[in-house]
Amino acid sequence: MPDDGDWTCADRAGITLCVGGERAAGVADAPPDPRWRCGARRGAAADALGRRVCRDLSPDFPDGKMAGWRCRTTYEPPPVRRACDRAPEARTLADPCDSRRPCIDGSRCEAGRCVPATGAPDCWLDTDCDGQDRGEDRCRLGSCGGGVP
């Protein structure tokens, strides 16, 4: 988790994306784990999911490699943990790319590898991006429009 707050997390294309961060009563604010990039969530800031979105571009994998795994966050039974299953067909940001092998939705090809949008994440749901300009009405990998030019 990004910090000691209350988070809802999902794995998408080999990265971990979390929303929330609200702290329980009496828990002091602390900075997020440095592996996480966090930002303010657009749109639905007052809903029950939370006001912050955080992204970890390099979560741990059983063999240390992103390719070939499909992971998820499990909440039951406690504690919260990340579980991964071998999935050779899973498309991730580790995939090579070129004109014949496009990147997954929400990323772009740079130097033969798929990369996500740069900067802090700002969405969890497509509705967080509603009404945005420049075709940014879809949330992809934590960014409205996915940062794809």
Q: Is residue 125 a part of any domain in this protein?
A: yes
Q: Is residue 1 a part of any domain in this protein?
A: no
Summarize pLDDT for 68-121 with one digit per residue, the tens. 999 999 988 888 899 999 999 999 988 899 999 999 888 889 999 888 878 899
| Residues sharing a CB contact under 8 Å with residue 119, sequence separation 6 or more, in sequence order | 37, 39, 143, 147
> Measuring CA to CA, which residue among 57, 104, 63, 53 is closest to residue 84?
63
Q: Is residue 48 a part of any domain in this protein?
A: yes
As for how many domains the chain has, the answer is: 1
State the pLDDT at residue 25.
74
Statement: residue 149 has pLDDT above 50: no
Rg (CA), the chain: 16
Statement: residue 47 has pLDDT above 80: no
Statement: residue 44 has pLDDT above 70: no
Q: Is residue 60 a part of any domain in this protein?
A: yes
Range of the domain at 116: 6-147
> Measuring CA to CA, which residue among 144, 141, 149 is closest to residue 56?
141
